[in-house]
Structure 1
């Protein structure tokens, strides 16, 4: 699979398109004034404890207080509180030695929020979910700092290896390496990308993350809540960190600064891939040049058409998203069951793409075309799970129910991406109704009467071509002829294709428009 990253820099922010085999699968938008992004670290002030929810509301500087549930406190919450206070008041040059920090006992899983945050202290928190709709950010005290090959978690000494590394020998090898080089008071999670990497590469990644933790420690010194302590990397570098692999064959950027940053980042994490970055400056918009704009217009909207003629209807509600599969005119055989299976498999691939592209989260209900055979339902389930393997968000796919519905749950980390591909009709202004010809005719006649009464002569009336045909129908006994007789004036009529159906304008003998 060929992967391409197209990065469009604009004054309002940066848009990033991920293409797989030339097909748009992810679209990210990073605003120039973006804040409270997932992964950002803040020094927050506990404002209110809600024992009934076993949660707290924390002020991190957002217009609404952020939400922190007990289950997101981390077993090492007491250690984090102690570290936060110690780092704020620390006056040691270069900061105290975190390796000598004494970790506090873990909190119990079934505890109460007021037992841990009873004094409403300042606490270091990480954004778990961006603000969505009327909700503030969701927070976590389980601090984690992701790198290219490893993720570090302070206050514990656990070493874990990604389950996606299937070789037991490789898992044991990576575990031994990390245990040998891991600093004290840091837990380490080995990522899938670490498979096959040597000790030097892993050590370099680990050292960079430990330095980031030292930066956090320095930024906490004398900090006053609420305050941002550390920003997550830009969307570009975080995507490269998580996605870059042997399948990537091109990264195109239209901004010189982002190009240099991206090139430097890739030279650091994957020197052999540095040549895939290129700077685009050919004049035409970069998204137009690489076909992104066309795909965006085709993929967003209530109806999504498939190449075979089948189509999807995507509806959004407060509680869930509903996707209806329609066969259209597709027919691959005379067998109705086979037709349904083929259409459903094609639709499943597009649904998996749409979930990533629009970043839909929560509950998704897909109404596929009814199939009778259990083996065909199993084929569809297996296909959907396969299509969603490339989705980085946590998800679960349930078998087709007896009502023919497939339920999918997908983790929502940020507001869904919704691009409006429709415009309000200039004639009806979105109402779906326009004035009838008779009503419009009366309105024109009333304005004519007013202008002629106020001594306007040799008038020209410009209308839409359809209205022109209506007013001139009959020639001798047309409405225009009747107006000329009624007002005893020479009235010229012009057709203008640039007007919408109910639009009309009057012009004087000098061809200047008369404002009414």
Structure 2
């Protein structure tokens, strides 16, 4: 009768694959339809079907890929051809296929004699998996601050695009890589409740248990020579670009309700709808967009693979905390003197780096060089101190470290 009870019963052992991480109160999603993803194709054992991504529109290209895979596919396997396979050669796909078949053989060897809850095959590390999905000719540089991960990524790029392996760089500076390239500051500005779009316009992003809500505001933008309707359209089109970017950046999934500025003309609502669809067409997560309602609302459903990114961007009020910034300055000086005394006893004379919030860094380094607290503390302790500004730190957060960034004390 097709009931699950007739196929398996409590105590049976079943090979499953996790397809979705646990989110909130929901556990992980598992399937017994095993698939192994590669760069150009997804291998599906025991299937026998060949499918081509619907995002490849060209009929001749779809047929070419189907025949190409059919000519090299081993018996007992099925394949899903990914969107990035469009235009690639048989050699590239065959190399990808051989790698996936090899991984399946590894899984088969590991599963024999395995006890329940044992992991028999892992996905490649997240960095390599991300590169597998998005790496293309637009990449100018890949900077890594972890030596082992650098070796992995370098090896992966050499395997898939040997001529571009030189774009992988190892970050060796004492300044953290996100700080060095301004990523911390960009993250804080992009993940706030309010997202500025320029010219006074902004978005307000709210997260609830049921859905995400985005409100579009024109702020103090003045559309000189524009009618109210044209002004609303211009702001809405600008907002649509930022919303599409924010959905990918924050990995927002589930139901998203966007409150655009009201527009009276039907053609303007259609233009906004087409613009939103076009901007979302490159999003790799499955999604559906409904046309604007009469109230200017656009509803979007987007595949939820993992919890949405929520990064704290507000500073705590120092006045509400036990340690005020001024008290912290005294504590930092005392801690520095303790560290220097300890390091002198061990015969170490290398500089000590103090990582602090940008406001505190400015305070410690204000004035002429010989007037700064950084210089005065160094002279009093007889040990060199270097203050490092860290965008990612909270107001009262600090860390003493050596030249390699390793924590001291």
Q: Please give the range of the TM-score, normalised by the shorter of the 2 chains.
A: 0.7 to 0.9
Q: 1:291, 1:423 → 2: CA distance?
A: 19
Residue 241 of structure 1: aligned partner: 132
Residue 146 of structure 1: aligned partner: 37
Residue 203 of structure 1: aligned partner: 94
Residue 179 of structure 1: aligned partner: 70
Q: 2:205, 2:58 → 1: CA distance?
A: 41
TM-score where L is the length of structure 1: 0.60
2:292 match: secondary structure: coil
Q: Is 1:377 aligned with 2:253?
A: no
Q: 2:85, 2:197 → 1: CA distance?
A: 38
Residues 434-468 of structure 1: CA deviation (Å, up to 9, x unaligned): xxxxxxxxxxxxxxxxxxxxxxxxxxxxxxxxxxx
Residue 408 of structure 1: aligned partner: 300
1:229 match: secondary structure: coil
Residue 217 of structure 2: aligned partner: 326
Q: What is the CA distance between 1:283 and its match in structure 2? A: 2.4
Which residue, out of 220, 227, 232, partners 1:335? 227
Residues 71-110 of structure 1: CA deviation (Å, up to 9, x unaligned): xxxxxxxxxxxxxxxxxxxxxxxxxxxxxxxxxxxxx8xx
Q: Is 1:167 aligned with 2:67?
A: no
Q: 1:364, 1:379 → 2: CA distance?
A: 20
Residue 472 of structure 1: aligned partner: none
Q: 2:278, 2:180 → 1: CA distance?
A: 31
Residue 350 of structure 1: aligned partner: 242
Q: 2:57, 2:250 → 1: CA distance?
A: 31
Q: What is the CA distance between 1:219 and its match in structure 2? A: 0.9
Residues 101-123 of structure 1: CA deviation (Å, up to 9, x unaligned): xxxxxxx8xx3221222354111
TM-score where L is the length of structure 2: 0.75
Which residue, out of 260, 279, 282, partners 1:387? 279
1:189 match: secondary structure: strand
1:124 match: secondary structure: coil
Is the helix fraction higher in 1 or 2?
Answer: 2
1:363 match: secondary structure: strand
Indicate how the Cα distance of structure 1 residues 291 and 386 shifts in structure 2: closer, same or farther if over 3 A, else same. Answer: farther
Residue 290 of structure 2: aligned partner: 398
Q: How does 1:50-449 map to 2 (within 5 A)?
A: 111-333=2-224, 334-428=226-320
Q: What is the CA distance between 1:417 and its match in structure 2? A: 0.8
2:284 match: secondary structure: coil
Q: What is the CA distance between 1:427 and its match in structure 2? A: 3.3
2:318 match: secondary structure: coil
Q: 2:87, 2:296 → 1: CA distance?
A: 44
- Which structure is higher in RCO with an 8 Å CA cutoff and minimum separation 6? 1
Q: 2:23, 2:87 → 1: CA distance?
A: 39
Q: Mean alpha-carbon deviation: is it higher for 260-269 or for 273-282?
A: 273-282
Q: Mean alpha-carbon deviation: is it higher for 417-426 or for 397-406?
A: 417-426
Residue 487 of structure 1: aligned partner: none
Deviation >3 Å, runs of 4+: 426-429
Is the strand fraction higher in 1 or 2?
Answer: 1
Q: What is the CA distance between 1:137 and its match in structure 2? A: 0.8
Q: 1:253, 1:226 → 2: CA distance?
A: 33
Residues 2-22 of structure 1: CA deviation (Å, up to 9, x unaligned): xxxxxxxxxxxxxxxxxxxxx
Question: Aligned residues, how many?
Answer: 320
Greater Cα radius of gyration, structure 1 or 2: 1
Q: Mean alpha-carbon deviation: is it higher for 351-360 or for 332-341?
A: 332-341
Q: 2:9, 2:260 → 1: CA distance?
A: 51
Q: 1:403, 1:185 → 2: CA distance?
A: 53
Question: RMSD of aligned C-alpha atoms?
Answer: 1.6
